[in-house]
């Protein structure tokens, strides 16, 4: 029987790439993968083609290209990349294009990679954190959350996938341990004693694959995933063990984090405040034991830190 095709946006990136690899790593899978990229000639796309993946051109800003890319597929993994353009409005427009194309292609299961619209708990009138660009609290969350109903309104068989903080932010996103004035390595987060649900980026795609494999079970549902819920102090302890040198947790205030000045510092400061202030709800939406039923390879922070110790920059 012909395999059912899952069309994967973001296939050359962390989330989509993880799903591509999860399917490739399961040769007996009922699914085949179709990788969507704007640049089929890029090294990353060519590497996928070399592994036998069907690579097709598609741009989230071009609905016709998405119609072509989704044609004949069973399902699709849908992800936007806020950090390429810093525009939540653009993410919403891209979600709309993906929903339109998915509907036209008659897809039978789409996974929308989303995050909470924080304004449902922190309305713009709530002064605990600044309003950004006039209409957002946490732009890279709120746009995705605002886009959630688009898929339902389109009548698409959808699973809303609530992702978590990537442990890889300690490698690529400037959140690695750095030496403080006392010479000690420290991770700096405005989380107080609250828990930070997180996940190895590769485990997002593996969990998404687990959802596709379970057929219609999660259609119409929101599924939250995390590999662990460590506190900042627990993360520092795991890093100390993995790196073989002491790492301390530098718990800064939300305002201090927002003022760090790098692009998106205000967005991330608000994000951490949201995760801190609604810690119970935020963690409850991302159950680790449940995630492990989708993805038995799920890594805790401790496991991830040990496996990735040589990739974590220390300055």
Ligand X SMILES: NC(=O)c1ccc[n+]([C@@H]2O[C@H](COP(=O)([O-])OP(=O)(O)OC[C@H]3O[C@@H](n4cnc5c(N)ncnc54)[C@H](OP(=O)(O)O)[C@@H]3O)[C@@H](O)[C@H]2O)c1
Number of helices (H) and strands (E) in the chain: give both, helices first. Answer: 14, 12
User: Which of 93, 238, 81, 221 lies closest to 161, judged by CA?
Assistant: 221
Contacts with 253 (C-beta within 8 Å, 6 or more apart), sequence order: 190
Least distance (Å) between residue 58 CB and ligand X: 6
Q: Which of 77, 82, 249, 254 binds ligand X (CB under 6 A)?
A: 82
Helix (H) or strand (E) holding 21: helix 14-24
Residue 250: phi and psi, rounded to 5, are: -105, 95
Q: Which residue is nearest to ligand X (CB)?
A: 13
| Interacting positions 145-184 with ligand X (CB under 6 A) | 163, 165-166, 169
231 binds ligand X (CB under 6 A): no
Angstrom distances, CA of residue 114 to CA of 79, 194, 236, 313: 8, 22, 28, 29
Nearer to ligand X, 40 or 184 (CB): 40
Q: Which stretch binds ligand X (CB under 6 A): 76-84, 95-103, 273-281, 299-307?
A: 76-84
In this chain, which of 6, 7, 12, 138 binds ligand X, going by CB under 6 A? 12
Q: How far apart are CA 243 and CA 27, in angstroms?
A: 36
Instruction: Name the minimum Å distance from CB 182 to ligand X.
Output: 28
Binding segment for ligand X among 54-62, 69-77, 174-182, 293-301 (CB under 6 A)?
Answer: 54-62
How many other CB atoms are found less than 10 A from the CB of residue 276?
18
Q: Are strands 4-8 and 75-78 parallel, antiparallel or unpaired?
A: parallel
DSSP three-state, residue 242? helix
Q: How far is the CB of 286 from ligand X (least distance, A)?
A: 11
Between 15 and 299, name the residue whose CB sits nearer to ligand X.
Answer: 15
Residues 15-34 contacting ligand X, CB under 6 A: 15-16
**Which of 46, 54, 72, 83 is the binder for ligand X (CB under 6 A)?**
83
Query: Residue 302 Cβ, how far from ligand X at the closest point, in Å?
Result: 18
**Residue from 39, 128, 179, 280 in contact with ligand X (CB under 6 A):** 39
| Residue 77 neighbours by CB distance under 10 Å | 30
The answer to whether residue 37 forms part of the interface with ligand X (CB under 6 A) is yes
Q: Does 38 bind ligand X (CB under 6 A)?
A: yes
CA–CA separation, 162 and 22 (whole Å) = 19
Q: Rule CB under 6 A: which of 128-147 touch ligand X?
A: 140
* Residues 210, 214, 218: CA angle, nearest 5 degrees: 95
Asked if 302 is part of the footprint of ligand X (rule: CB under 6 A), the reply reads no
Nearest-Å Rg of the Cα atoms of the chain is 19
Single residue of 14, 48, 132, 200 touching ligand X by CB under 6 A: 14
Q: In the bound complex, what is the minimum distance in angstroms from residue 18's beta carbon to ligand X?
A: 8
Rounded CA-CA distance 143/118 in Å is: 10
Task: Characterize the bridge pairing of strands 178-179 and 185-189.
Answer: antiparallel
Regarding 197 and contact with ligand X (CB under 6 A), the answer is no
Write out the residues near ligand X by the rule CB under 6 A.
9-16, 37-39, 42, 58-61, 79-84, 140, 163, 165-166, 169
């Amino acid at each position: 029987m012909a395999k059912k095709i899952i069309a994967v946006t973001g296939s050359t990136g962390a989330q989509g790439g993880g799903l591509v690899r999860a399917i490739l790593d399961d040769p007996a899978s009922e699914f085949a993968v179709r990788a969507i990229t704007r640049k089929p000639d890029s090294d990353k796309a060519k590497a996928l083609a070399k592994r036998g993946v069907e690579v097709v051109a598609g741009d989230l800003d071009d609905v016709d290209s998405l119609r072509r890319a989704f044609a004949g597929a069973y399902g699709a993994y849908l992800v936007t990349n806020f950090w390429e353009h810093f525009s939540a409005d653009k993410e919403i427009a891209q979600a709309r294009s993906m929903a339109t194309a998915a509907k036209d292609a008659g897809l039978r299961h789409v996974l929308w990679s989303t995050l909470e619209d924080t304004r449902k708990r922190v309305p713009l009138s709530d002064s605990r954190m600044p309003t950004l660009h006039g209409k957002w609290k946490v732009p890279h969350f709120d746009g995705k959350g605002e886009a959630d109903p688009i898929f339902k309104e389109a009548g698409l068989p959808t699973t809303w996938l609530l992702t978590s903080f990537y442990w890889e932010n300690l490698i690529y996103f400037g959140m690695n341990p750095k030496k403080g004035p006392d010479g000690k390595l420290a991770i700096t987060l405005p989380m107080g004693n609250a828990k930070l649900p997180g996940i190895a980026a590769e485990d997002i795609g593996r969990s998404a694959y687990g959802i596709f494999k379970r057929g219609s079970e999660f259609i119409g549902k929101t599924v939250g995933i995390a590999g662990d819920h460590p506190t900042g102090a627990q993360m520092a302890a795991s890093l100390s063990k993995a790196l073989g040198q002491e790492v301390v947790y530098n718990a800064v205030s939300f305002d201090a984090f927002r003022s760090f000045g790098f692009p998106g510092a205000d967005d991330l400061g608000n994000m951490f405040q949201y995760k801190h202030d609604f810690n119970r709800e935020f963690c409850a939406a991302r159950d680790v034991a449940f995630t492990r039923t989708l993805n038995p390879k799920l890594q805790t922070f401790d496991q991830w830190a040990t496996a990735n110790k040589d990739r974590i920059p220390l300055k």
